């Protein structure tokens, strides 16, 4: 598949027929690791949930009903980043962005992840509306990690709604 085609085909999918299999999930997570990161610190973390009981529990306790429904039948990947590492030197932020750099790195990691998934024929939904406290408790995520998204990943059963993008001139200035 051409890269341009891959990018255009990737859409948030809100209906899944089945979860991704374990081996393909590992392949996707390995590809996501190729994302660039600040000083190659690789502070992005993933908690991949595949077991049906835990998936059901997490979905019903940590996701609002619309995200619960959208992600039914998919596997879930909780993404986090280790705080106070990326963009820090000697325990102090190197500039005003501070932990925003960890979030930046994780965003790149997630971008690689969702495109890698698509390249293997899977679809994804990044969900930022979730209950971080519940997720932390259920997956024993340490306090030094910031919980960001939950990503559903599986084979699509629903067609994507194509969301328009702003005109380039609205979001880019050329000098
Ligand atoms: C950080 C982030 C958080 C998001 N949170 C949610 C969410 O909680 N629920 C949802 O249905 N979609 C969520 N989305 C998906 C966006 O709505 C979607 O990416 C956007 O509408 C563009 O559509 P597309 O991904 O199909 O191109 C999120 C996307 C991002 C990047």
- Give residue ranges with CB within 6 A of ligand 1: 11-12, 14, 67, 70, 125-129, 149, 160, 163
Q: Report if residue 170 sits inside a domain.
A: no
Examine the pLDDT at 13 and tell me if it is beyond 70: yes
In-domain check, residue 173: no
Does residue 11 lie within any of the structural domains?
A: yes
Question: From atom 2 of ligand 1, which residue's Cα is the shortest distance away?
Answer: 128
Give the distance (Å) from ligand 1 centre to CA of residue 94.
30
Q: Could you tell me the residue range of the domain that residue 37 belongs to?
A: 3-156
Instruction: Answer whether residue 28 is part of any domain.
Output: yes
Alpha-carbon dihedral 128, 134, 135, 138, rounded to 10 degrees: -160
Asked if pLDDT for residue 1 goes beyond 80, the answer is no
Domain count across the chain: 1
Q: Which residues of 98-137 are buried (b: 16+ CB within 10 A; e: fewer)?
A: bbebbbbbbbbbbebbbbbbbbeebbbbbbeebbeeebbe
Give the CATH number for residue 55. 3.40.109.10
The closest of 55, 68, 62 to 19, measured between CA atoms, is 55
In a domain, 166, yes or no: no
In a domain, 78, yes or no: yes
Reported as a single tens digit per residue, the pLDDT across 79-131 is: 999 999 999 999 999 999 999 999 999 999 999 999 999 999 999 999 999 99
Look up the pTM and report it: 0.98
41 within some domain? yes
The pLDDT, as a whole number, for residue 161 is: 82
* Ligand 1: centre distance to CA 41 (Å): 27
Residue 162: band (very low, low, confident or very high) from pLDDT cuts 50, 70, 90: confident
Mean pLDDT of 168-172: 98
């Amino acid at each position: 598949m051409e890269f341009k085609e891959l990018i255009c085909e990737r859409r948030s999918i809100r209906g899944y027929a089945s979860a991704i299999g374990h081996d393909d999930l590992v392949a996707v997570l390995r590809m996501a690791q190729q994302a660039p990161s600040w000083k190659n610190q690789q502070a992005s973390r993933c908690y991949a949930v595949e077991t049906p009981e835990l998936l059901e529990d997490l979905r019903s306790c940590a996701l609002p009903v619309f995200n619960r429904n959208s992600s039914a039948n998919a596997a879930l990947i909780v993404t986090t980043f280790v705080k106070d590492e990326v963009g820090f030197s000697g325990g102090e932020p190197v500039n005003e962005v501070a932990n925003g750099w960890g979030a930046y790195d994780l965003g790149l990691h997630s971008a690689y992840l969702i495109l890698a998934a698509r390249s293997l024929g899977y679809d994804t939904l990044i969900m930022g509306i979730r209950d971080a406290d519940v997720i932390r408790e259920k997956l024993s995520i340490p306090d030094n990690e910031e919980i960001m998204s939950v990503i559903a990943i599986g084979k699509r059963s629903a067609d994507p709604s194509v969301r328009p993008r702003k005109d380039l001139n609205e979001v880019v200035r050329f000098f």
